[in-house]
C-alpha cells in the first residue's frame, strides 16, 4: 500500500516542495523515516502514531516506511507530522489517494491530534504559489500569514480530524482571506514619536539626513543625552515599507520563529537592538543549520548597537561585509545559505569609558591612554562605513523643563519620502542602488559634482581641519542627500558645509587614537 502527500520546507528564506511518500507492507511492525530527517522529524513517528489513534482513526500494525524527497536535502522541524499522518491514512484506505494530489499540507501534531503552528509559512506559501499547486493546508495560527500571498487558496485546520474531513469533502470550506490594506494600516502605527524628544534639534536634523539618504549613523555623547531615545524613534521617520519589502522581511522573521501571534505581515520597519554581549554568530547568523542573525532580522529596518565600543572586536569586524554587500552568506560543510541583510546601522557610544569627556557639567576621570584604548576598539574600516558622525550634548534644563514639543515624526517622514522619491528616479536604471548611501565611486563622480567654491570648501576641510581622506566620498554622498532634501539639482556650498559637520569625529579619532 502506497500513498504520496505533498508538503514543503524552508532552506534559508526560500521554500521548496517536499514529497512525503508512505509505504506499508507485511512484516514485523516498524516505522522508519528516511530522506535525511533530523531528530525532530525522526521523532514524528511517535506523535503521528498517537495522534491518529487519539483522533478516532487506526494505524495498521505493519512495516511502515516514510520517505521525504528530495532525499539529498536535510529535513528539519515538525511540520511534516500532519502530511505524514494523512499519507498513512490514505495508504490504509481511510482517505482517497487522489484527494491528496492537489494540495500542500503542513503542521505539527500534538498527541491528541491537535495541529500546532509551524515556522516559515510565508516563504512556503510563496513557493506553493509558484509551483503547480493552488491549495495550502496548514495550522490555523499560520493561516493569515500564508494568506498574504495572492493566487493561493489557504485552508486552516486545528485538528487532524478537521484535516481529514476537509480533504474527504473536497475542500468545500471557504479559504482564509486577508484584507491587505487593513493589515498595513494596523501595523504601520508607531507608539513613539520624535516630538517626544526635548531639544537636540541639530541631532534630529542629522537623523533626518541619514533617513533621507540611507546613511549609517554614529552618535557620541555623555550618558543621559538622549542617544537611545533618538535611535528608537529613528524608524518612525523612515519611508513606509513597500509590499515587496514587507514580504521579504516577514520571510526572515517567519523562518526565525519570532513573528508575533496574529501578525500576518511585518509592515513597520524592524528595529533590532542586541546587547553588547552578543556573539558573532548571534549577530551575523549561524548554527549547524544556519539561522538568520540580527543583521538579517533588521533587514529593511534599523540595527541599533548601543555602547558600540563594548562589543567584542571580532563581532564588530564580521559586520563589515554585510554592511557593504547588503547580504550575508553562512557556509557550513553541508550547505551554504545567503540571507539578506540590507539594514541601516545606528550606533551610539560614550566619548570615554566614564562617559563625561565632552560634558561641561561633569568632570572626566579618564586618562588619555584609557580614552585611546576605548576608541581604538572601533576600527577604521568599520568607521569608514558610517557616513554620519554626530556629537550629542547633554540637554540643558531649560529645554527639558519646557513645554514646547518638537516636530512630529510624520512631518519629518514626509520630507524624507520626497527625497527618497528623487533618488528612486535618479537610480531607476542602476542595479542594487536605490539611495545615495549605496553610490559607488563612478556614481559619485556623476551625481555629486560640485562647483569651484564647494571644491575650495571641501579642500579646506580635508587639509586644514584634519579630516581623513576616507571622509571625502562620505561628505559628497551626504551633501547629495542634503541637496535632495532642499529640492536642489546642484550641490551648493551650504550643503557641503553641513555635511562636513557630520564628519567631525574623523578629526577627533585621528587626534586620540
Residues 12, 66, single domain; the answer is yes
pLDDT tens for each residue of 179-223: 777 776 666 678 889 988 888 889 999 999 999 999 999 999 998
Domain assignment of residue 287, yes or no: yes
Using the predicted structure, report yes or no on whether residue 512 has a pLDDT greater than 50: no
Beta carbons of 413 and 239 less than 8 angstroms apart: yes
User: 168, 198, 217 — which closes off a domain?
Assistant: 168
Residues 206, 130, single domain; the answer is no
Give Rg (Cα) of the chain.
Answer: 28
User: 386, 410, 438 — which closes off a domain?
Assistant: 438
Using the predicted structure, report yes or no on whether residue 369 has a pLDDT greater than 50: yes
Domain assignment of residue 50, yes or no: yes
Beta carbons of 346 and 231 less than 8 angstroms apart: yes
pLDDT tens for each residue of 38-63: 888 999 999 999 999 999 999 998 99
Domain extent at residue 155 = 2-168
Beta carbons of 140 and 115 less than 8 angstroms apart: yes
Residues 424, 380, single domain; the answer is yes
User: 400, 423, 438 — which closes off a domain?
Assistant: 438
CATH of the domain at 349: 3.40.50.300
CA 86, 91, 96, 99: dihedral to nearest 10 degrees? Answer: 50
pLDDT tens for each residue of 215-235: 999 999 998 888 999 999 999
Cell reading at 464: 586644514
Residues 27, 108, single domain; the answer is yes
Residues 283, 353, single domain; the answer is yes
pLDDT tens for each residue of 256-306: 988 887 778 888 899 999 999 999 999 999 877 788 999 999 999 999 999
Beta carbons of 86 and 63 less than 8 angstroms apart: no
Question: How many other CB atoms sit within 10 Å of the CB of residue 266?
Answer: 26
Domain assignment of residue 180, yes or no: no
Cα 80 to Cα 183: distance, rounded to the nearest angstrom? 29
Residues 163, 219, single domain; the answer is no
Cell reading at 36: 535525511
Domain assignment of residue 31, yes or no: yes
pLDDT at 180: 75
Domain assignment of residue 173, yes or no: no
Using the predicted structure, report yes or no on whether residue 494 has a pLDDT greater than 90: yes
Beta carbons of 37 and 75 less than 8 angstroms apart: yes
pTM above threshold 0.85: yes
Residues 322, 239, single domain; the answer is yes
Domain assignment of residue 506, yes or no: no
pLDDT at 510: 46
pLDDT tens for each residue of 68-99: 999 988 888 899 999 999 999 999 989 988 88
Residues 213, 71, single domain; the answer is no
CATH of the domain at 81: 3.30.230.10
Cell reading at 334: 553541508
Q: What is the count of structural domains for the chain? A: 2
Question: Which class for 288: exposed (0-12), middle (13-18), buried (19 or more C-beta within 10 A)?
Answer: exposed
CA 178 from chain centre, in angstroms, equals: 23
- Averaged confidence pLDDT in the chain: 89
DSSP 309: G
Domain assignment of residue 212, yes or no: yes
Domain assignment of residue 475, yes or no: no
Using the predicted structure, report yes or no on whether residue 440 has a pLDDT greater than 90: no
pLDDT tens for each residue of 158-178: 999 999 999 887 656 788 888
Contacts of 493 (CB under 8 A, 6+ apart): 451, 453, 454, 457
Question: How many other CB atoms sit within 10 Å of the CB of residue 287?
Answer: 12
Residues 164, 267, single domain; the answer is no
Cα 253 to Cα 267: distance, rounded to the nearest angstrom? 12
Cα 251 to Cα 472: distance, rounded to the nearest angstrom? 38
Residues 142, 191, single domain; the answer is no
Residues 61, 118, single domain; the answer is yes
Using the predicted structure, report yes or no on whether residue 513 has a pLDDT greater than 60: no
For residue 433, list its beta bridge partners. none
CA 206 from chain centre, in angstroms, equals: 24
Residues 65, 205, single domain; the answer is no
Angle between helices 368-376 and 504-512 (to 10 degrees): 120
- Segment 130-150 shows an average pLDDT of 91
Quote the percentage of the chain above a pLDDT of 90.
56
Amino acid at each position: 500500500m502506497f500513498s504520496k502527500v505533498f508538503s514543503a520546507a524552508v532552506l534559508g528564506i526560500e521554500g521548496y516542495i517536499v514529497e512525503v511518500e508512505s509505504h506499508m507492507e507485511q512484516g514485523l511492525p516498524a516505522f522508519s523515516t528516511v530522506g535525511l530527517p533530523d531528530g525532530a522529524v525522526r521523532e514524528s513517528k511517535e506523535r503521528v502514531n498517537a495522534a491518529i489513534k487519539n483522533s478516532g482513526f487506526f494505524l495498521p500494525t505493519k512495516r511502515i516506511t516514510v520517505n521525504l524527497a528530495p532525499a539529498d536535502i536535510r529535513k528539519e522541524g515538525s511540520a511534516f507530522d500532519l502530511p505524514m499522518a494523512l499519507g498513512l491514512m490514505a495508504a490504509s484506505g481511510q482517505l482517497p489517494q487522489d484527494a491528496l494530489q492537489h494540495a500542500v499540507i503542513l503542521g505539527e501534531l500534538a498527541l491528541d491530534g491537535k495541529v500546532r503552528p509551524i515556522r516559515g509559512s510565508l516563504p512556503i506559501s510563496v513557493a506553493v504559489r509558484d509551483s503547480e499547486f493552488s491549495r495550502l493546508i496548514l495550522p490555523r495560527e499560520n493561516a493569515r500569514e500564508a494568506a498574504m500571498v495572492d493566487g493561493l487558496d489557504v485552508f486552516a485546520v486545528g485538528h487532524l480530524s478537521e484535516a481529514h474531513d476537509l480533504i474527504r469533502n473536497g475542500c468545500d470550506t471557504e479559504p482564509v482571506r486577508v484584507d491587505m490594506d487593513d493589515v498595513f494600516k494596523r501595523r504601520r502605527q508607531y507608539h513613539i514619536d520624535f516630538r517626544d524628544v526635548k531639544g537636540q534639534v541639530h541631532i534630529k536634523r542629522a537623523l533626518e539626513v541619514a533617513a533621507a539618504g540611507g546613511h549609517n549613523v554614529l552618535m557620541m555623547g555623555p550618558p543621559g543625552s538622549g542617544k537611545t531615545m533618538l535611535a528608537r524613534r529613528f524608524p518612525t521617520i523612515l519611508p513606509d515599507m513597500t509590499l515587496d519589502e514587507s514580504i521579504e522581511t516577514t520571510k526572515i522573521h517567519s523562518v526565525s520563529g519570532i513573528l508575533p501571534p496574529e501578525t500576518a505581515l511585518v509592515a513597520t520597519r524592524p528595529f533590532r537592538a542586541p546587547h553588547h554581549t552578543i556573539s558573532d554568530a548571534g549577530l551575523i547568523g549561524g548554527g549547524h543549520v544556519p539561522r538568520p542573525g540580527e543583521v538579517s532580522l533588521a533587514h529593511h529596518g534599523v540595527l541599533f548597537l548601543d555602547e558600540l565600543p563594548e562589543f567584542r572586536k571580532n563581532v564588530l569586524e564580521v559586520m563589515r561585509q554585510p554592511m557593504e554587500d547588503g547580504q550575508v552568506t553562512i557556509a557550513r560543510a553541508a550547505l551554504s545559505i545567503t540571507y539578506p541583510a540590507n539594514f541601516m546601522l545606528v550606533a551610539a557610544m560614550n566619548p570615554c569609558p566614564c562617559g563625561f569627556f565632552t560634558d561641561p557639567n561633569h568632570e572626566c576621570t579618564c586618562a588619555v591612554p584609557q580614552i585611546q584604548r576605548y576608541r581604538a576598539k572601533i576600527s577604521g574600516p568599520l568607521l569608514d562605513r558610517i557616513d554620519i558622525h554626530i556629537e550629542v550634548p547633554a540637554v540643558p534644563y531649560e529645554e527639558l523643563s519646557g513645554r514646547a514639543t518638537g516636530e512630529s515624526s510624520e512631518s519629518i517622514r514626509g520630507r524624507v519620502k520626497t527625497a527618497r522619491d528623487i533618488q528612486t528616479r535618479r537610480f531607476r536604471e542602476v542595479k542594487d542602488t536605490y539611495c545615495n548611501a549605496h553610490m559607488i565611486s563612478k556614481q559619485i563622480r556623476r551625481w555629486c559634482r560640485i562647483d569651484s567654491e564647494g571644491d575650495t570648501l571641501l579642500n579646506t576641510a580635508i587639509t586644514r581641519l584634519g579630516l581623513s581622506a576616507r571622509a571625502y566620498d562620505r561628505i559628497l554622498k551626504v551633501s547629495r542627500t542634503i541637496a535632495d532634501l532642499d529640492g536642489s539639482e546642484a550641490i551648493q556650498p551650504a550643503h557641503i558645509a553641513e555635511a562636513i559637520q557630520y564628519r567631525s569625529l574623523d578629526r577627533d579619532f585621528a587626534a586620540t587614537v
